[in-house]
Amino acid sequence: MSSTYGESLKLSIFGQSHGPAVGMVLDGIPAGLPVDLEALQTFLNRRAPGQNDWSTPRKEEDRPEFLSGILDGFTCGAPIAAAIYNRNTRSGDYANLKDCPRPGHADYTAQMKYGGFQDAAGGGHFSGRLTAPLCVAGGLCKQWLALNGIAIGGRILSIAGCDETDDPLDPCVPEIPVIGSDFPVVNPRVGEAMRQAISQARKDGDSVGGVIECVITGLPAGLGEPMFGGVESKLAQILYGIPAVKGVSFGDGFAVAGMRGSQCNDPFTIEDGVIRTTSNHCGGILGGITNAMPVIFRIAVKPTPSIARPQSSVSLSRNCPQELTVKGRHDPCIVPRAVPVAEAAAAIAIFDMLLGNTQTNRRK
Amino acid sequence: MSSTYGESLKLSIFGQSHGPAVGMVLDGIPAGLPVDLEALQTFLNRRAPGQNDWSTPRKEEDRPEFLSGILDGFTCGAPIAAAIYNRNTRSGDYANLKDCPRPGHADYTAQMKYGGFQDAAGGGHFSGRLTAPLCVAGGLCKQWLALNGIAIGGRILSIAGCDETDDPLDPCVPEIPVIGSDFPVVNPRVGEAMRQAISQARKDGDSVGGVIECVITGLPAGLGEPMFGGVESKLAQILYGIPAVKGVSFGDGFAVAGMRGSQCNDPFTIEDGVIRTTSNHCGGILGGITNAMPVIFRIAVKPTPSIARPQSSVSLSRNCPQELTVKGRHDPCIVPRAVPVAEAAAAIAIFDMLLGNTQTNRRK
Amino acid sequence: MSSTYGESLKLSIFGQSHGPAVGMVLDGIPAGLPVDLEALQTFLNRRAPGQNDWSTPRKEEDRPEFLSGILDGFTCGAPIAAAIYNRNTRSGDYANLKDCPRPGHADYTAQMKYGGFQDAAGGGHFSGRLTAPLCVAGGLCKQWLALNGIAIGGRILSIAGCDETDDPLDPCVPEIPVIGSDFPVVNPRVGEAMRQAISQARKDGDSVGGVIECVITGLPAGLGEPMFGGVESKLAQILYGIPAVKGVSFGDGFAVAGMRGSQCNDPFTIEDGVIRTTSNHCGGILGGITNAMPVIFRIAVKPTPSIARPQSSVSLSRNCPQELTVKGRHDPCIVPRAVPVAEAAAAIAIFDMLLGNTQTNRRK
Amino acid sequence: MSSTYGESLKLSIFGQSHGPAVGMVLDGIPAGLPVDLEALQTFLNRRAPGQNDWSTPRKEEDRPEFLSGILDGFTCGAPIAAAIYNRNTRSGDYANLKDCPRPGHADYTAQMKYGGFQDAAGGGHFSGRLTAPLCVAGGLCKQWLALNGIAIGGRILSIAGCDETDDPLDPCVPEIPVIGSDFPVVNPRVGEAMRQAISQARKDGDSVGGVIECVITGLPAGLGEPMFGGVESKLAQILYGIPAVKGVSFGDGFAVAGMRGSQCNDPFTIEDGVIRTTSNHCGGILGGITNAMPVIFRIAVKPTPSIARPQSSVSLSRNCPQELTVKGRHDPCIVPRAVPVAEAAAAIAIFDMLLGNTQTNRRK
């Protein structure tokens, strides 16, 4: 199967870019959890395209209608279903797109998989629009995690080579002002360079990519399962469900490859009677299991494949080369809008693991 | 749950480092697939510790005994179970290790999760020894993939900063001489530098990490499912089940973050009537689905956490700092031995996806 | 989790009786399968309450709106989502019902599980109304099974003790005239007695139960997996998801307990060169796997728990006995309407098994 | 997949009747649960064939060797693996059996599924011997359920028409003397008739079947999930994994079909301040969820298919009828030995549901 995630909870995402609706069903959620729809909408607005320099001017409303599972402001134990109806469906003509796949998109692979039956309009089920229902589910999970003192916050680590890796994110997520902004960076100077790089790419009919870093604080030690059920496995699985992600790493990520053990191992210490580590190269995870330090992960987001420049494609029907110019206006950089999506995905995975966590400590 | 993987096949891995046996059950395998036990043993020997400079001199025999599922050289449809019995179990004294967790290991997180009931000897269920049964399962899957013309080969891309990224791996896996060697590098000069870095680390009582790159050839287009069932999601989930992996990426990985769309998009072309792309920045995967180009992934392996140098730890019983010196001899670098493990993990994931692939092409 | 079913396909059902909508998401369906919406509606109408003696006069429209997954009359590979919107929601007052649980309903167990947060109106997620989206999914699966020559037909075997077990169902399902009628019985005389028993129960302010028998023809031999993946296990799991079912059996069912082996074993024979059995006590399944004879199963449906007569209940708030009279008009017998539901459930399970069937015959 | 069960726990069963070993892996079990191996052996002995009138004189030792997961008498959090090695393997000649399938066995369906690659010796993976590892897993789960005050006990309800349905089982399982005996009946007179029927069948070269009833006491209210995750669904799925089971029912089972609602609904009452029902026709389950009354289920076990009398079979190679006389000595009735198997299966399902139960009561 495809668009289903989770073990203790089951998330099922549906919809195509230009179909009647995109939406989700979230099953396995305990009854009695409060739902703040206003806060959810604020979260969803972070993902929605806006009127700024780095996102598409297309105006979508990401306003979910809940069909089940919520009653009087609380979960009722039944599956939670929500739909975001599309206002202007199937307006364009996508016949050409089915014959001439866009480089960097899933047009060709969908054609190979579904043999021409796929909904090609706007990328169909592979559209970035499907991250809207992902954010509905993740936005709810974020609220419920917050009830347990768990916060998830993301920032833009780099765009087009403008990099603020040397400006570490204070792990006390709830207090950081940048978290939750529509362009969350720690170093304003680097942020300005990122914006200029995006503007330049737009002028060039091109696009740029970047890296997002997320921090999860408040997790208990002992979350995660050995081997394939580790926090890294679970997070990576769902994070790779976000379109355009080509890399996922934890802690120091690929930089560990160049370190020595004496550098990479995080020494233990005791602060105010509490065991912690003096560094966090492991990103809060050892053996797949949390150690109560902040969990830190990064995702690499490729540049938006839809660019204004002509590109080399092929005609599937005539089996010959064909130049393609993608029409419409597209985000020159999806990294800022992908930050809440990464937070949402992580929230879903963490909440699923918390629900399924059956281990208890007994012996001293 | 924890040590179970797969959808169409179900792999269950069991055992602790110093327990009676490590092993696996592999369920859901079709009947009638040939099993070459000799070729399997050759594959397992690539993972086993040897008599060389970069691995532990400890002598283990990774000789699986099959308890079920194979009859007269073929799978019989019943679950395949194999055990690798431990010859010298529980020899050491690990009481101290339970009180004083090794930095960089899962000792502390296991203690937090299992509350003191965990088997701490040799890392218990978190030991690298558990990759032996993973290789049994993966070695079998590799054989069955080969029947379908699918090959998986890995190489050492970097160790301790010695890097051969600029020496691209010819994707014709079966013909590459380095594939399958015990120190698979393309550039002998870089390989020599790697070996020296390992030797130096050993002399320093330290360890080094590295990056492994794997190539999967012969895959059909259209493999993988949208969203959470994509090839990247499935591979990442199992690859993060390998101890010490802190990063997983596909195609150009984190480098895509610095590219422009016009660079990163792989242009289509037609060669001998067959559609392919002129570059492979996407690593053979778009929208989670294969495009028939080689699938390329990389994993970052951290330096072996067991080092000879004294390290800062804590006494859990006395809740105070305590210096720890890890005894025994350990690999100064596990990267070479991790290459077949990465191949095995990938083989399991790919074979699972092939078994579960229900899509058929019909329309032209 | 709860309302999710399947392995190769994933069915997720949502909704509460008086919520905005009931519906389903069906993921994992191959692209290119034709969808006949008119035939689907005809099937759904068999379940919908009608204007007859044995069902509630309440008028519901079971008209699903498809939100995704179907394009130009074919599945497009994306998850199929459908919603049936409720026209008159939350009209009644159900506060009392939450305090005073109806005997034989899930009111009390839902209260115990969800602690008062459950949607009690009309039974909430436990309402028989949730069988409508089950029939949407199952009706689609029935169409796709028919493409493979597989038919599923059910009949009323008994109601209120009026029994036509001695009138065997001709297993050539497609040709049987009774299949698909709104009161499918083989023996008209027994059928008349059933209707009279229902009328009498209605007059008495009471209700009656019955047994449904279904036949599945056209299945290949070799479907099903050993142990927990057998056809019986899969069918039983989903059939017990139908409200009011208290028994599921295959072939001769509980009658096998009184037979001798020499009676119960189905002897093999050869007809026109084809191996079959001369009897079918096993209901087409041995070791959980089909033998190409018709699969036959029965479900026992309890009498509608909502009856007009006063019943003994308790007040949960005051923790004291309280007499309850259930208001509204209810089916005196749900057995006829449960026949298409049983067919739908079976179709889902069988289609799931067909999708996941990876075994192939090779050796002679 | 096939021989894997569970959601929060994962049970994987392996082995063939005459292979090197049968066994199981049980993953997802919390650390720190005590394991009483002696009590487990006592439980396993109830299933083992004995020296009595109703079971085969073949002498097997069902002595599991634990390969992992248990340390110093407690679960350690790692998967629990156990193997029961076969002492005398592949002794017989089963070539004929592969050509001439036994009526009532899975010989033919296995041949159809596995195309001749199946292990036909002794029924291979379909052998009743596979219930031994099921009892290892279930025996452990029974011990852990007992820690929570949950008991599971079974009795023989009928054999060969000798029926003690009118002798209700006192639901206070732990106190019943018959529970745990090797021929558990409530009414000694009926028990004697059963034994005589078995003896007579043996003399006639034939076999008899029966019905087993199990009671589960001590369950909390609110266990189970709606729709496909109900207690009935979960129990039925695993119970149908027991060879020879052709019917599974709950509470009054198929008898509800003949009842009226006013009879079948269980009235609520209050005893000592506790809500309960004055009858238990529903078998402790409403809407798939427990109501804290004893859960009662029954399974119909068909007569042993291996009988001494000649039977009509076919030669698969020659595609012609062939008379078959099954050799060896077989149980004329497996019902007594199936009682602990039913208890084991139920224990696994209930423990899995308890582990996965994430609902909590909050509102008053």
Spell out the SS3 assignment of D285-311: EECCEECCCCEEEEEEECCCCCCCCCE
Q: Is A67 helix (H, G, I), strand (E, B) or coil?
A: strand
Q: Chain C partners of A110 at a C-beta cutoff of 8 Å?
A: 77
- B131/A contact by beta carbon, under 8 A: no
Asked if the model's pLDDT at residue A1 lies above 60, the reply is: no
What are the φ/ψ torsions at residue B217 (nearest 5 degrees)? Answer: -115, 160
* Contact status of A8 with chain D (Cβ, < 8 Å): yes
Q: Tell me the C-alpha distance between A210 and D354, whole Å.
A: 44
pLDDT of residue D108: 96
Find out whether B10 and D12 touch, Cβ atoms under 8 Å.
yes
Q: How far is C83 from A81, CA to CA, in rounded Å? A: 10
Q: Give the model confidence (pLDDT) of A230-261 as tens digits.
A: 999 999 999 999 999 999 999 999 999 999 99
Q: Which of A115, A130, A289 sits opposite B360 (nearest CB)?
A: A115
Our CA angle for B174, B176, B178, nearest 5°, is: 120
| Smallest CA–CA distance from C238 into chain D, residue | D228
Give me the mean pLDDT over the B153-181 stretch: 79
- Cβ of D61: how many Cβ atoms within 10 Å? 13
What residue type is assigned to position A115 of the chain?
Answer: G
| Cβ contacts of D251 on chain C, cutoff 8 Å | 246
Residue A158: strand pairing partners: A163, A211
pLDDT at C176: 57
Nearest to D22 by CA among D102, D135, D120: D135
* C217 close to C171: Cβ distance less than 8 angstroms: yes
- If we measure between CA atoms, which residue out of D360, D345, D152, D87 comes closest to residue D234? D345
Between residues B89 and B281, which one has the greater pLDDT? Answer: B281
The tokens of C175 are what?
């040709």
Q: Is the pLDDT of residue B68 over 50?
A: yes
pLDDT at C238: 98
| CA–CA separation, A115 and A100 (whole Å) | 14
> What mean pLDDT comes out for the span A143-169?
92
CA torsion sign, C87 to C93 to C95 to C97?
A: negative
Q: By the 8 A CB rule, do A67 and A114 touch?
A: no
Taken as a whole, chain B contains a residue count of 364
- Residue A303, pLDDT above cutoff 90: yes
How many CA atoms does the CB half-sphere of B281 hold within 13 Å?
24
- Its pTM surpasses 0.90: yes
Q: Are C34 and C73 contacting, i.e. CB atoms less than 8 angstroms apart? A: yes
Provide the pLDDT confidence category of residue B362 given band limits of 50, 70 and 90.
Answer: very low
3-state secondary structure of D195: helix
Q: Which residues of chain D have a CB within 8 Å of the CB of A72?
A: none
Whether B70 has its CB under 8 Å from any CB of chain D: the answer is no
Asked if D305 contacts D222 with a C-beta cutoff of 8 angstroms, the reply is no
Question: Other C-beta atoms within 10 Å of A271: how many?
Answer: 8
| pLDDT, position C364 | 37
b/e per residue B145-171 (b: at least 16 CB within 10 A) = bbeeebbbbbbbbbbbebbbeeeebeb
Q: For residue C286, what pLDDT is reported?
A: 98
Residue B181 pLDDT grade (very low, low, confident, very high; cuts 50, 70, 90) = confident
Q: Do B8 and D1 touch (CB under 8 A)?
A: yes
- Nearest-angstrom CA–CA distance, A114 and C348: 22
* pLDDT computed for residue D360 by the predictor: 54
Alpha carbon distance B247, A299 (integer Å): 10
Asked if D119 lies within 8 A of B27 by C-beta distance, the reply is no
Q: Are strands D151-159 and D210-217 parallel, antiparallel or unpaired?
A: antiparallel
> Does residue A293 have a pLDDT over 60?
yes
What's the average model confidence in pLDDT over A101-120? Answer: 95
C71 touches chain B (CB under 8 A): no
Statement: residue B49 has pLDDT above 80: no
Most C CBs within 10 Å: which of D9, D109, D354, as the mutation test of the C interface? D109
Mean pLDDT of C29-55: 86
Gap between the Cα atoms of B146 and B140, Å rounded: 10
Beta bridge partners of D218: none
Mutate to test the interface with C, among D254, D278, D334 (most CBs of C within 10 A): D254
Which residue among D32, D226, D355 sits closest to A363, beta carbon to beta carbon?
Answer: D32
pLDDT band (50, 70, 90) for residue C172: low
Q: At CA A232, angle to CA A177 and CA A4, rounded to 5? A: 95
Q: What is the pLDDT of residue D143?
A: 97
Q: Identify which has the larger pLDDT, C358 or A294.
A: A294
pLDDT at A364 over 50: no
Per residue in C281-332, pLDDT tens? 999 999 999 999 999 999 999 999 999 999 999 999 999 999 999 887 788 9
User: Would you say A236 and B236 are in contact if contact means Cβ atoms under 8 Å apart?
Assistant: yes
What was the pLDDT predicted at C203?
A: 95
Which DSSP string corresponds to C335-347? HHHHHHHHHHHHH
Mean of the pLDDT values across residues A124-135? 96
pLDDT band at B56 (very low <50, low <70, confident <90, very high): low
Q: How confident is the model at residue C168 (pLDDT cuts 50, 70, 90)?
A: confident
pLDDT at A97: 74
Distances (CA, A) of B72 to B31, B76, B145, C359: 12, 9, 20, 18
Which residue, among D285, D273, D280, D288, has the nearest Cα to D170 in the 3D structure?
D280
What pLDDT is stored for residue A362 in this prediction?
Answer: 45
Spans of chain D below 50 pLDDT? 361-364
Answer left, alpha or beta for residue B222, where phi above 0 means left and psi between -120 and 50 means alpha.
left
Cβ–Cβ < 8 Å for A292, A361: no
Residues 6+ apart with CB under 8 A from C72: none
The 10s digit of each residue's pLDDT in B228-249 is: 999 999 999 999 999 999 999 9
Kindly identify which residue of chain B lies nearest to residue A247, measuring between CA atoms.
B249
- What gap in Å lies between CA D119 and CA D109, rounded to an integer? 13
Segment among A79-93, B116-130, C70-84, D62-76 with least mean pLDDT: A79-93
For residue C97, the model assigns a pLDDT of 74
Q: Measured between beta carbons, which residues in chain A are less than 8 angstroms from residue B104?
A: 261, 264-266, 282, 286
Q: What are phi and psi of D295, to 5 degrees?
A: -85, 130
For position C49, what pLDDT does the model report?
Answer: 75
Rounded CA-CA distance B179/B174 in Å is: 8
- Side-by-side strand order, sheet with C4-5: C4-5, C10-15, C21-27, C80-85, C65-68
- Positive or negative, the CA dihedral C46, C47, C49, C54 is positive
Q: With pLDDT > 90 as the criterion, what percentage of chain C qualifies? A: 81
Dist CA A335 CA A330 (whole Å): 13
Q: Which of A9, A21, A68 sits opposite C20 (nearest CB)?
A: A68
Rounded distance, CA D121 to CA B228, Å? 42
Q: Do C246 and D282 touch (CB under 8 A)?
A: yes
CA–CA distance, A277 with A262 (Å, rounded to integer): 14
Write the CB contacts of D241 (distance below 8 Å, at least 6 apart in sequence). Answer: C227, C228, C230, C233, C288, D5, D134, D345
Q: Do A30 and D363 touch (CB under 8 A)?
A: no
- For chain A, say whether B98 makes contact (Cβ under 8 Å): no
What is the value of ipTM here, to two decimals? Answer: 0.95
pLDDT tens-digit map of B277-318: 999 999 999 999 999 999 999 999 999 999 999 999 999 999
Chain D segment 215-254 residues within 8 A of C by beta carbon are 220-230, 232-234, 236-238, 240-241, 243, 245-254
pLDDT of residue A361: 46
| Residue C323, Cβ density class (10 Å: 0-12 exposed, 13-18 middle, ≥19 buried) | exposed
Query: Average model confidence (pLDDT) for chain A?
Result: 91
For residue B51, the model assigns a pLDDT of: 54
Q: What are the b/e assignments for A129-165, b being 16+ CB within 10 Å?
A: bbbbbbbbbbbbbbbbbbeeebbbbbbbbbbbebbbe
**Residue B196 host element (H or E):** helix B188-203
Structure tokens at B8: 């169409």
pLDDT over 70, % of chain A? 90
Distances in Å between the Cα of C176 and the Cα atoms of C154, C163, C180, C185 are 10, 19, 9, 10
CB C57 within 8 A of CB C329: yes
Min distance D143 CA to chain A CA atoms (Å): 17
DSSP code for D202: H
All residues at 6 or more sequence positions from C14 whose CB lies less than 8 Å from its CB, including other chains: A25, A27, A67, A68, A69, A78, A79, A80, A81, C3, C21, C22, C23, C24, C25, C133
pLDDT tens digit sequence for D168-191: 776 555 555 566 788 999 899 999
- Contact residues on chain C for A4, CB-CB shorter than 8 A: 10, 12, 27-28
Per-residue pLDDT at B361: 44
- Whole-number pLDDT of residue C59: 57
User: Considering just the CA atoms, what is the radius of gyration of chain B in Å?
Assistant: 21
- pLDDT, position C95: 66
Neighbours of D192 (CB within 10 A): 12
Between B114 and B95, whose confidence is greater?
B114
pLDDT tens track for B205-234: 999 999 999 999 999 999 999 999 999 999
Strand extents, DSSP E, chain C: 4-5, 10-15, 21-27, 65-68, 70-71, 74-75, 80-85, 151-159, 162-163, 210-217, 245-250, 268-271, 274-277, 285-286, 289-290, 295-301, 311-315, 320-324
